[in-house]
Amino acid sequence: MTDILNAVFRTLTPVTGNVETELGVLASSSPCAALLVGEHCISRAMLLLTAVTATSQMGARVLFFTQTKIQEIPASVQKCVPNLSPEALKKIQFLYPKTLEELLQQVSGLHEAATHMPAALPSLIVVERLDSYLASPGSAGSGSGGSGGHQLRHYSCAAHLSSLLLDTSAFLTHLQQQQQQQDPSTAACRLIGSFLSEGDAGGPSTADPQIMEILDRYFQTRCTLHRAGDYQTGAREAAATAVQGLWNVYFSGRGLTDGAATPEWQMVLFTDGLLQFKCKS
């Protein structure tokens, strides 16, 4: 799953910037799932950036699940993909389930819908704020019944949602491989979910290691966004270069390629909204 994320990062480095070359080499014949862990404001921008890049440069169809209405593409994403066409945006379908139950129903419905519309199979599924869905009214873990029972139901919900998402990704991958008989290795439906980092408000946090352990069973790769430390030390430099924020980006998990070095990145958010990535390794 690091393939599409690393490709997006490379296209936004000051040196390369060749989106078509980087994304043109992606190939995977198996379901790929990644969990993006970080602050909501910056993780949403990264999810949208990945979706927009996938559809505009790869021609991929994207399903984007979120509880919060997206009125317009953020300025940071528009600056990174300045030539975004209306035709490319039409390939992103935004869906707005409010509760876990609604999300489960919509994801389950993809199996039947995909068999009737094989020409519109998505190549990327994005689910924003898994933590918010798990804490939403209507989820099995949001009711009463004692803290022990509440936790068990919460863990069960996390496993149920994750397994359904991964199963759906595998099912769509299988359908795409059937369509692309000449080169099935290029057919895969990727899955990216986001989860609020520890310390952010609302919903369960990464402070519960059990939840993260459950999610890691299904999402083979974790991409962690961590704010770069001591702002005071670099305040003068940040002001001089119009930097609004710095984040270190780490990949971990069993989905990483064995024996291959995994690059570490630094993400820079400028005051004008532009996102830029620098490879640290």
- pLDDT tens digit string along 54-76? 888 878 899 999 999 988 888 77
Give domain status of residue 236, yes or no: no
Q: Percent of the chain, pLDDT > 70?
A: 73
Q: Stretch 175-194: mean pLDDT, rounded? A: 76
Give the pLDDT of residue 77.
82
Question: Which residues lie closer than 8 Å to 42 by C-beta, 6 or more apart?
Answer: 225, 245, 247, 267, 269
Give domain status of residue 182, yes or no: yes
CATH of the domain at 94: 3.40.50.300
Give the pLDDT of residue 114.
81
- What gap in Å lies between CA 278 and CA 220, rounded to an integer? 24
pLDDT at 232 over 50: no
Give the pLDDT of residue 227.
86
pLDDT at 169 over 70: yes
Which sign does the torsion angle of CA 247, 51, 137, 152 carry? negative
- What gap in Å lies between CA 169 and CA 189, rounded to an integer? 5
Give the pLDDT of residue 230.
44
Long-range contacts of 15-19 (CB under 8 A, 24+ apart): 19/53, 19/57
- What gap in Å lies between CA 272 and CA 270, rounded to an integer? 5
Give the pLDDT of residue 106.
96
Residues 63, 126 contacting (CB under 8 angstroms): yes
pLDDT at 257 over 90: no
Give the pLDDT of residue 25.
39
Q: Stretch 1-8: mean pLDDT, rounded? A: 70
Average pLDDT, rounded, for the chain = 78
Give domain status of residue 207, yes or no: yes
Indicate the burial class of 109 (C-beta count within 10 angstroms; 0-12, 13-18, 19 or more).
Answer: exposed
- pLDDT tens digit string along 96-155? 999 999 999 999 999 888 877 766 789 999 999 999 999 875 555 555 445 566 788 889
Give domain status of residue 251, yes or no: no
Give the pLDDT of residue 48.
92
What stretches of 85-201 adopt beta strand conformation (E)? 92-95, 124-127, 190-196
- pLDDT tens digit string along 157-167? 999 999 999 99
Range with the poorest average pLDDT among 26-30, 191-195, 258-262: 26-30
- pLDDT tens digit string along 10-43? 777 765 444 443 444 344 545 579 999 988 888 8
Give domain status of residue 137, yes or no: yes
Q: Which domain holds residue 28?
A: 2-231
Q: How many domains does the chain have?
A: 1
Give domain status of residue 237, yes or no: no
Q: How many residues does the chain have?
A: 281
- What gap in Å lies between CA 113 and CA 46, rounded to an integer? 28
Q: Percent of the chain, pLDDT > 90?
A: 31
Residue 18 identity: N
